[in-house]
Amino acid sequence: MPKVLITAKEVDDIIINGLKKLGYEVNHLPGPSEADLLEIIAVYEGIIVTTYTKLNQKVLDQATNLKFIGRVGSGLENIDLEYAKQKGIEVMSSPEGNANAVGEHALGLLLGVMNKISQANQEVKNGIWQREENRGEELDGKTVGIIGLGHTGNAFARKLRGFDVKVLAYDKFKTHYGTDWIQEVSLDDLFEKSDVISLHIPYLQENFHFINQEKIAKMIRKPYLIHTCRGEVIDTKAVLSALETNSIKGLGIDMYEDEPWTKGKNVSLEIYKELFSLDQVIATPHIGGWTIESKIKLAHVLMDKIEAWKMRS
């Protein structure tokens, strides 16, 4: 009986039962190290992973029987896609499954940071009553710029339809994507005209520190920045500096250059601590796509793709 390895810490029964119906023996090894994978991966025909399992060339060289990789979620930067393609390994992900969750979370971060909800919440719980100091801003009348109009970018744009806002969008990989409520613009125009900028781009090498000191200097309106895509897309140190000089008015952040940030490997702990000490920052622990509903949707989407691939094979 062919085998599939699941490395996700938590996996919905939809995937486990679906794989068994397809005739696979399913083994669950949450969060294996690279050494673990190198030792066992040769016996598996399929593997189901999340963000934190790295399938690099070294691991894939040992995966002599591997036919498919299933990614629960959207980002594929933890998989050597080109090498997997060379080896004839099918790679499937499920970005459709948590796009709505990310869209809602991005909106929640935006409303939270504009209205100082996190700061006010902590003050009230500590017996501090400050109304004028916590006066917020309304979203209506603002211009919102969306960078990356894929699954999550589109989901966020749909959430904005209930507000009286102007929506600008830039997507490097698309053309003619404007709609009756989304205006297609250049990246420079988006930086210049946006009161809010929300990031929804994948992590590619070319997107490393996409938001950096040079790009921040183009943000004429000193916008609120919402970050729900991959951590490496922003230069954390540059964003901290921009917040301290009011070049960026506020930050809602769900993704980090280190996860958890306490690792302090790519960015120093001092920078993270200074960032999180700022009242105009709301931070959440990579939960944008992590809802009760998205867990089920992600599983359904991925199993549908695996079943379709199986039928073609």
Distance CA 302, CA 185 (A): 33
The one catalytic residue in 158, 209, 221, 286 is 286
Contact 50, 73 (CB under 8 A): yes
Contact 190, 162 (CB under 8 A): no
Beta pairing partners, 199? 147, 227
Is residue 230 flagged as an active site residue?
Answer: yes
Is residue 71 flagged as an active site residue?
Answer: no
The one catalytic residue in 96, 259, 274, 307 is 259
Beta pairing partners, 54? none
- What DSSP designation does 266 have? S
- Record the tokens describing residue 279, joined without a space: 């009242």
Closest alpha carbon to 290 in 23, 92, 9: 9
Contact 66, 60 (CB under 8 A): yes
Is residue 184 flagged as an active site residue?
Answer: no
> Residue holding tokens 């709505």?
100
Q: What is the 3-state secondary structure (H, E, C) of 29-76?
A: CCCCCHHHHHHHHHHCCEEEECCCCCECHHHHHHCCCCCEEEECCCCC
The one catalytic residue in 104, 151, 230, 232 is 230
Which amino acids are annotated catalytic? 230, 259, 286
